[in-house]
Amino acid sequence: MKRPIAELIGTGRYLPDKVLSNADLEKMVDTSDQWILDRTGIRERRVASAEETLACMGKVACEQALESAGVDVADVDVLLTATASPDRLLPSQACDIQATLGAVNAAAFDVIAACSGFIYGLTVAEGMVSSGQAKNILVVGAERLTAITNYKDRATCILLGDGVGATLVRPARNGTRGILSSYLKTDGRLANLLYRPGGGSVHPPSEEMLADGSYFLTMAGRETFKHAVRSMSDACDQAMARAGLSGDDIDLLIPHQANLRIIEATAKHMGMPLDKVYVNIDRYGNTSAASIPIALDECVREGRVTEGTTILMVAFGGGLTWGAVVVRW
Ligand code: UT7
């Protein structure tokens, strides 16, 4: 096993107060609480208000991460945001979080890899630490998916929610703590399984687009589900092999929260009992790039992650993209 180059320290999160329950959705589309619970494991999700921009939510999550890491905002040299639902298309979301946070010494940019964005972001951060480019990198997963959700499409609107999670990556202080391995994979040929058909420069926003739903996120659910199960398992296997670890060495699996059945299939593949798997999809639904950092922050604050805990984080999403990171806390 290689010596860790970078470690994670400090975490934070922000979840909007407003709850959208399955019962609320029953009044909006032809669905039922029972169907949603049985097919996804979701009970409720959070919805940001007009004032709860990603810039504002990101500021809170980053402040918590910095406070728990004991790092001053002036010492942040990179702020990296993973998002598929930015406040605006230009500049990057990271620039707007940098401004609200006052991280004036940070270079800020976005990493776009849909639900896998946080895993991609951690890997980019590790590379920047390793090359000596940066010493304190805020990696933020931030989503306001309800802004790009079609509330006439029952197959997707029941899944998505809003929230932000953040962590700090810095040079590893000793030979045991930190990122033990990482694995990233993409198959752009399958992009149209989970994407936004319109709103970009090829099909600029229009009235028709809002009416026919092509402005919003669309997904071929059943096909995507099959790829998700396969890819999450592949990512776990590859990251574990690179770390030289086996399933028994993992104390905690933090999977992207897309569907409880995908999470359970991944755990089964890894031979991991469900009490070693962190699940909060029932409370927040799918928050894309934010789901893993939100879960990580909950685990740290609940004491499920303490010094020495070995964590496998794995994600899958639009792109298609997938990946995993093994971290010793
Ligand atoms: O974040 C990373 C990427 N995301 C994922 O990996 C998500 C992957 N996909 C999924 O989680 C699941 O495919 C869904 C939860 C989206 C759908 O569950 P499913 O078990 O795959 O359902 P399905 O799409 O195969 O549809 C089964 C039936 C259909 O009716 P018919 O054709 O059998 O009569 C759907 O029309 O369920 C119907 N249906 C619904 N019924 C009630 C679809 N959505 C709903 C709904 N309420 N909300």
Domain 179-328: CATH superfamily, name plus number: Thiolase/Chalcone synthase (3.40.47.10)
> In angstroms, how far is the first alpha carbon of the chain from the final one?
16
Which atom of ligand 1 is the closest one to the Cα of 29?
Answer: 48
List the Cα angle 282/82/58 in 5-degree steps: 75
> In whole angstroms, how far apart are CA 227 and each of 156, 191, 258, 262?
17, 12, 12, 10
Radius of gyration, CA atoms only, the chain? 19
Secondary structure class of 326 (helix, strand, coil): strand
What's the pLDDT score for residue 187?
98
Q: How many CB atoms sit inside 10 A of residue 256's CB?
A: 35
Handedness of CA 248, 254, 257, 260 (dihedral sign): positive
Ligand 1 atom 8: the closest Cα is on which residue? 225
For 180, the 3-state DSSP assignment is: strand
For ligand 1, mutation pick of 33, 39, 232 (most atoms within 8 Å of CB) = 39
Does residue 243 have its Cβ closer than 6 Å to ligand 1? no
CATH no. of 6-175? 3.40.47.10
Domain ranges of the chain: 6-175, 179-328
From the candidates 157, 256, 259, 299, give the one annotated as an active-site residue.
256
Instruction: Identify the pLDDT of residue 4.
Output: 83
Taking a C-beta distance cutoff of 8 angstroms, is the pair 296, 65 a contact?
no
pLDDT tens-digit profile of 13-31?
Answer: 999 999 999 999 999 999 9
DSSP letter for 13, please: E
Do 6-175 and 179-328 fold alike per CATH?
yes
Q: Does the Cβ of 154 fall within 6 Å of ligand 1?
A: yes
For the chain, residues with pLDDT lower than 50 are none
Q: What CA–CA distance (Å, rounded) separates 204 from 21?
A: 33
Question: What per-residue confidence (pLDDT) applies to 1?
Answer: 61
User: What pairs with residue 101 in β-bridges?
Assistant: none
